[in-house]
Amino acid sequence: MTSYSKEVLGDLAAGKLPWPQTRRIMSAYKDDDRFFKMVAVYQDRIAWKDPILLPVSDHLFICQSGDERITRCECGHSFGDYRKNWKLNAAINVRNTEEALREIYPNSDLPDPEWMEIREFICPQCGTLHEVEAAAPGYPIVHDFEPDLEGFYREWLGKPL
């Protein structure tokens, strides 16, 4: 069975693994023990102690915090119950003027701010930019991911939550 060390997976997640090795991992049969090893890699990376249950973005994790399961930023900030949309507890910066859009797109033709705005969802504690939406004005904020956490652990991982 294919398997990689935590060190290799840590370098892979950090984008530090040399390309030939990365390419071999991409082409090889997948390593079935990846999930818990990758969780361990992330767990080593963070300063807080709550056990990670599921990574959901580059720096966002669902974790077990006491009796609750919450979405937490790598910096430790809690976005609340994992079943709720974490974006609703984020800070937001909306780019809906030519001047604000030009900061990110210095050379290109720009969207018409009457038709589209760029929404940046930011951790209010550390300032990490967790997600960007490009949406028409008035479009509801998207709830990106509602994992079936119970089903995932019970039926696919074969382990209790």
Partner 1 sequence: MLDKPASALRLRERLLDSERLMEETGCYDGITELTLRNQDPLKFETLHTKLRAYCVSAREMARRISASPGVREVGEMVVAIYTPEGDAIALSNGIMVHVHTMSRFIKWMIKNGYEDNPRIREGDIFANNDAFIGTVQVPDVMDVVPIFHEDTLVGWAGAVCHELEAGGITPGGDVCLAQERFTEGLFVCAEKIGENDEIRRDYVIRCERNLRMPIYWVLDEKAKVASCIDMRESVKQLISEIGLDYWMKVSKEFIEEGRRAQLARTRQLTVPGIYRGHTFYGHVTAGKPGFQLLGDPDWLYNIPIEMEITTDGKITMDFEGTQPWGYHSMNCTPAGMDGGMFVTLTQHMNFEGLVNDGAWMATELKLPHGTWTNPDNEMVATATSWALLLPAYGVFQRLLSRSFVARGYVEEAFVGQVNSPMIEMGGESQYGTPFGMAHFECAAAGSGALAIKDGLDTAYVGWNPESDMGNIEVWEQSMPMVYIGRSIMPNSGGAGKYRGGCSFVSTWLINNTSHLRLHTSEHSSRVFDNGGMCGGYPAPTCQKHRAVRNSNIHELAAKGEPLAHAPGIDPHVSDYEKNIGGDHVVVEGPYITSPHKSGDIFSHSYNGGGGYGDVLERDPIKTAWDVENGFLTRQAADQVFGIVLKDDEDGYPVADIDATVERRAEMRKQRLAKAIPVADWIAKERGRVEKADFAPEVKKMYASAIKLSSRFTREFSEFWNVDARSIFMPGAKP
31 torsion bin: left (phi>0), alpha (psi -120 to 50), beta (else): beta
**Residues contacting residue 88 through CB under 8 Å, at least 6 positions apart:** 141
| Interacting residue with partner 1 among 22, 64, 65, 78 (CB under 8 A) | 22
Written as one letter, the residue type at 56 is V
Which residues 40-69 are close enough to bind partner 1 by CB under 8 A?
A: 54-59
CA 46, CA 42: separation in Å to the nearest integer? 6
Instruction: Name every residue whose Cβ is closer than 8 Å to that of residue 103 and which is 6 or more positions away in sequence.
Output: 95
Q: Shortest distance, CB of residue 67 to partner 1, whole angstroms?
A: 22
> Distance (Å, rounded) from C-alpha 122 to C-alpha 110?
23
List binders of partner 1 among 111-150 (CB under 8 A).
111-112, 114-116, 118, 120-122, 124, 126-149
Binding partner 1 (rule: CB under 8 A), the pick from 68, 91, 97, 161 is 91
Q: Which is nearer to partner 1, 48 or 110 (CB)?
A: 110
Closest distance of CB 5 from partner 1, Å: 14
Smaller CB separation from partner 1, 68 or 124: 124
